[in-house]
């Protein structure tokens, strides 16, 4: 499920990245978070993208259409994080690995079991999990904050 949602009229969409190879029990968490993202009321649409455990940032995997698209999204997410003053490195770490079939080390990105990427009319609006100062913002806490905001907006609108 890699369909990109377009954002029109300033609405917000979400893309949940779920890692294909997760430890036992994490797949239940992925499903719960996908349902929660759909129910939260803050998004015009929620899509899901299956991501690998690790993505080589060079060579054939990175240059394939799906690899290049994912690599570009990660670059955009890192740009968003730098502008927002938050840290994605603990959750989307890039590391050098010894070469498998060549003499050159390769750079590899490791994905967490679930990542939530939000878009609005201006592009990426949020990526979680991340570290904000001394606080970790998890996918769960972000969805809870969005749910609380959406509920307040409904109450305010109805008053």
C-alpha 12/C-alpha 147 separation (Å) is 14
What pLDDT sits at residue 1? 34
pLDDT of amino acid 91? 96
Would you state the pLDDT for residue 154?
Answer: 41
Distance CA 133, CA 13 (A): 26
Q: Which residues of the chain have pLDDT under 50?
A: 1-9, 152, 154-159
The residues pairing with 120 across neighbouring beta strands, listed in sequence order, are 123
Inter-residue contact 2 to 50 (CB < 8 Å): yes
State pLDDT tens for residues 66-108. Answer: 888 999 999 999 999 999 999 999 999 999 887 766 677 788 9
pLDDT of residue 158: 40
* Cα gap 17→85, rounded to integer Å: 22
The helix (H) or strand (E) run that includes residue 19 is: strand 13-19
Q: Which pLDDT does position 3 carry in this prediction?
A: 33
At residue 10, the pLDDT reads 55
Q: HSE of 138 in the Cβ direction (CA atoms, 13 Å)?
A: 7
């Amino acid at each position: 499920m890699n369909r990109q949602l377009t954002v029109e009229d300033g609405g917000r969409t979400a893309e949940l990245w779920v890692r294909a190879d997760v430890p036992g029990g994490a797949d239940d968490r992925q499903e719960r978070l996908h349902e929660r993202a759909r129910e939260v009321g803050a998004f015009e649409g929620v899509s899901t993208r299956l991501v690998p455990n690790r993505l080589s940032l060079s060579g054939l995997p990175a240059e394939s259409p799906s690899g290049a698209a994912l690599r570009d999204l990660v670059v955009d997410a890192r740009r968003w994080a730098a502008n927002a003053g938050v840290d994605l490195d603990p959750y989307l770490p890039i590391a050098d690995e010894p070469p498998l079939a060549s003499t050159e080390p390769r750079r590899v990105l490791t994905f967490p079991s679930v990542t939530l990427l939000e878009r609005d009319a201006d592009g990426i609006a949020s990526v979680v999990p991340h570290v904000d100062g001394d606080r970790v913002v998890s996918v769960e806490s972000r969805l809870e904050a969005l749910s609380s905001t959406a509920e307040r907006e409904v109450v305010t609108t109805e008053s």
